[in-house]
Amino acid sequence: MEEAIIRTEGLKKSFGKVQAVKGVDLAVEQGTVFGLLGPNGAGKTTTIRILTTLLEPDEGKAVVAGFDVVRDAILLRPVIGLAGQFAAVDENLTGLENLEMVGRLYHLSAAEARKRAQDVLERFDLAEAAHRTAKTYSGGMRRRLDVGASLVGQPKVLFMDEPTTGLDPRSRLVLWELIRDLQKEGTTLLLCTQYLEEADQLCDRISVIDLGTVIAEGTSEELKGKIGGEVLELHVAAEHLGRAVETLRGLGSGEPTQDEDTRLIRVPVGSEGPQVLLETVRQLDDAGIPIEDIALHRPTLDDVFLSLTGHAAEIAIEESDEPEPVPEKRRRRRDR
Amino acid sequence: MSAVALQRPSFTTRAMLSFFDSLVVARRNLMQIVRVPAVLVFELVQPVMFVLLFRYVFAGNIAGMDAIPGGYVTFLMPGIIVQNAIFGATTTAIGIAEDLKSGLVDRFRSLPMARPAMLAGRATSDLIKNFILLLVVIGIGYLVGFSFKNGFLGALAMIVLVMAVSFTFSWVMATIALAVKKLEAVQAAAFTGIFPLVFISSALVRVEGMTSFLRPVARNNPITYWANLARYFAIGDFPGMGGSVEHLILWSAIWIGVLLAIFMPLSIRLYSKLT
């Protein structure tokens, strides 16, 4: 790999007795979108806060764009942008004023700050709302304004902490497009997400993080490969279940398994999916067993997560005990 | 990375940028008054209420005011004005707590702006806001029978003193906000601390009329020094000043200096070490 633009070694951070980050190692190549995937409480936010100089690590080292996040924080801040977990915009300022203020705090001239603010509003489809106070914005607009604010400084490295949490599907797609565009322009992005689909869609590489440590790293494909190729899934009527499993034995790359309750049969097929599918249909037809449905199932990051952590991502989210800084009422309002 | 960009900015550059950043933040805070003027109006209710209550409910029941030219209202107004300066500074705590809650503090802390500028900007905008409140309260005072009796320079000196007190307490309040963090708790902490401090002072009543064990506390309360000095600037010599003008100026200045020396660095430190 080329020299990494973000590199952490043995990053550790505790809050009182809670060890939020227990030794995170990351290496992010310039110009890529890198995903930190994990449930709430996994240590994603703490890691991002260390990398954006909001928190000092207890142990370990982190270098972003050539600057040590502790020693060179003053030099690092001008070249990074942060879109935090919730839209950090001033409700009493207009969209334009919010962005101009951020521009001024990046120490741009008044004219330059205004120009960049207008460009960002244009690009994020907020030009028409430029002179309305942010209070009147919808959840999606606020989030776009917040991401926009993180771009005013034209950062080399952009950190986004769950950028689409609480957004409706349309706003989410809009934001995904923006992220892809930013990457095309050469920005390096580090993206925290608890949505497996999001990481799958956007990220060149993914670190799966759970309980403060990285438990797997690779491309989406590599991670899926770790749990062993495709699976053929089919349903048959209960009375045919036993006979169907007998018929299918030896067809796939492993033994078929059956679930009596759901009447689901799963056959691991490795990379021979289509051939096994055809053969299965032919043989069950010959045996006179009607197939209710049948599909090749490519493993999702959900499967990866389950097999890596032993628990599903969604369950872990509910069990999270990480302090949730988002004001509850506001979050719920945004969700609607 | 160019060699220039790698250089740390010099002290002078950073000082200038800090000043500039503070103004950007102060301007942003003041926009709230422009956009939501109701907040300022509500903030005026309390001082006006205090003036009216003390002027019309308590005035007749407060002894020892015969020697004061103009009676209790003349005694009261400078004290109420000092009290307002301190109560007015609680908005610093509330503003910072709100910014913590909304995530704006995270944004500010990740920007290349000078970190103390967020606090200095808040203290500055609250100073301007409290100056507006001060002028309104003086106006109300005139409506209920108060007047300056120590000349224009005296009145000006009082305003400067009161603004210095207000600015000082903004830093105390910033420290409280950054230590307590949660908005509701910050509100409670700010007011609970201030109420006894203001009432056990000469801001509203004479120290001589208090229970004997409270008198030494009240006499050494910085608010007593400030209230008495403000009173002197407003109306000239009065009985119960508790020392010469020089004595009052000295102790008023010492208290302001000590509080700033403690709470400015403390709040800035808390801000940069936020988790």
| Low-confidence winner among A81-90, A298-307, B26-35 (lowest mean pLDDT) | A298-307
**Which ranges of chain B would DSSP assign to H, the alpha helix?**
3-6, 11-35, 37-53, 72-88, 90-102, 104-110, 116-143, 151-180, 183-199, 215-220, 222-235, 245-272
State the Cα–Cα distance between residues B77 and B54, nearest whole angstrom: 10
Tell if the CB–CB gap between A53 and B110 is shorter than 8 Å.
yes
Query: What is the bridge-based pairing of β-strands A188-193 and A157-161?
Result: parallel
Q: From the CA of A193, how many Å to the nearest CA of chain B?
A: 18
Query: What is the bridge-based pairing of β-strands A188-193 and A33-37?
Result: parallel
Give me the residue from B1, B28, B111 closest to A66, CB to CB: B1
State the Cα–Cα distance between residues A56 and A71, nearest whole angstrom: 10
Top residue of B107, B182, B269, B270 to mutate, by most chain A CBs within 10 Å, is B107
A328 C-beta neighbours (distance < 10 Å), count: 8
Q: From the CA of B43, how many Å to the nearest CA of chain A?
A: 18
Please tell me the predicted confidence (pLDDT) of residue A196.
82
State the Cα–Cα distance between residues A87 and A84, nearest whole angstrom: 7
Task: Rank A102-116, A212-226, B45-59 by mean pLDDT and report only the highest.
Answer: A102-116
Q: What's the token pair of residue B202?
A: 């000469």
Instruction: Give how far the C-alpha of residue B180 lies from the chain's centroid of Cα atoms, to the nearest Å.
Output: 19
Nearest to B170 by CA among B74, B53, B259: B259
Domain boundaries, chain A: 4-89+137-225, 229-298
Nearest residue of chain B to residue A50 (CA atoms): B275
Query: What is the bridge-based pairing of β-strands A230-236 and A291-297?
Result: antiparallel
Tell if the CB–CB gap between A88 and B17 is shorter than 8 Å.
no
| Low-confidence winner among A239-253, A291-305, A309-323 (lowest mean pLDDT) | A309-323
Q: From the CA of B168, how many Å to the nearest CA of chain A?
A: 25
Domains A4-89+137-225 and A229-298 share a fold: no
Give me the residue from A54, A56, A78 closest to B106, CB to CB: A54
DSSP symbols for A139-185:
HHHHHHHHHHHHHTT--SEEEEESTTTT--HHHHHHHHHHHHHHHHT
State the Cα–Cα distance between residues A331 and A152, nearest whole angstrom: 25
pTM: 0.84
Nearest residue of chain A to residue B17 (CA atoms): A107
Q: From the CA of B101, how many Å to the nearest CA of chain A?
A: 7
**ipTM, interface predicted TM-score of the complex:** 0.88
Q: Is 70 exceeded by the pLDDT of residue B4?
A: no
Mean pLDDT of A299-323: 58
Element containing residue A117 per DSSP (H, E): helix A110-123
- Fold observed for domain A4-89+137-225: Rossmann fold (3.40.50)
Contacts of B109 in chain A (CB under 8 A): 53-54
Tell if the CB–CB gap between A74 and B108 is shorter than 8 Å.
no
Instruction: Give how far the C-alpha of residue B244 lies from the chain's centroid of Cα atoms, to the nearest Å.
Output: 24
Q: From the CA of B212, how many Å to the nearest CA of chain A?
A: 46
Tell if the CB–CB gap between A74 and B8 is shorter than 8 Å.
yes
Contacts of residue B275, defined as CB under 8 A and 6 or more positions apart, other chains included, come to A15, A55
Contacts of A91 in chain B (CB under 8 A): 102
Q: Residue A133 is which amino acid? A: T
Tokens 């009082």 found at: B158
Nearest to B231 by CA among B223, B243, B241, B218: B241
The contact set of A with B (CB < 8 A) is 15, 49, 52-56, 65-66, 74-75, 77-78, 80-82, 84-93, 97, 101-102, 104-107, 133, 149, 153, 325, 327
Contacts of B9 in chain A (CB under 8 A): 74
- Give me the sheet containing A213-218, strands edge to edge: A80-83, A157-161, A188-193, A33-37, A205-210, A213-218
Domain boundaries, chain B: 18-60+70-272
Element containing residue A5 per DSSP (H, E): strand A4-15
For A229-298, which CATH class? alpha beta
Give me the residue from A84, A89, A106 closest to B111, CB to CB: A106
> pLDDT tens for residues B167-219?
999 999 999 999 999 999 998 998 888 989 999 999 998 898 899 999 999 99
> pLDDT tens for residues A107-128?
999 999 999 999 999 998 899 9
Mean pLDDT of B98-127: 95
Q: From the CA of B103, how many Å to the nearest CA of chain A?
A: 5
Q: Residue B126 is which amino acid? A: D
Nearest residue of chain B to residue A92 (CA atoms): B32
Q: Is 70 exceeded by the pLDDT of residue A76?
A: yes
Nearest residue of chain B to residue A150 (CA atoms): B107
State the Cα–Cα distance between residues B133 and B96, nearest whole angstrom: 20
> What 3-state DSSP class applies to B49?
helix
State the Cα–Cα distance between residues A48 and A34, nearest whole angstrom: 12
Q: Which residue has the higher pLDDT, A136 or A292?
A: A136
The 3-state DSSP composition of chain A as helix, strand, coil percent (nearest 5) reads 40, 25, 30
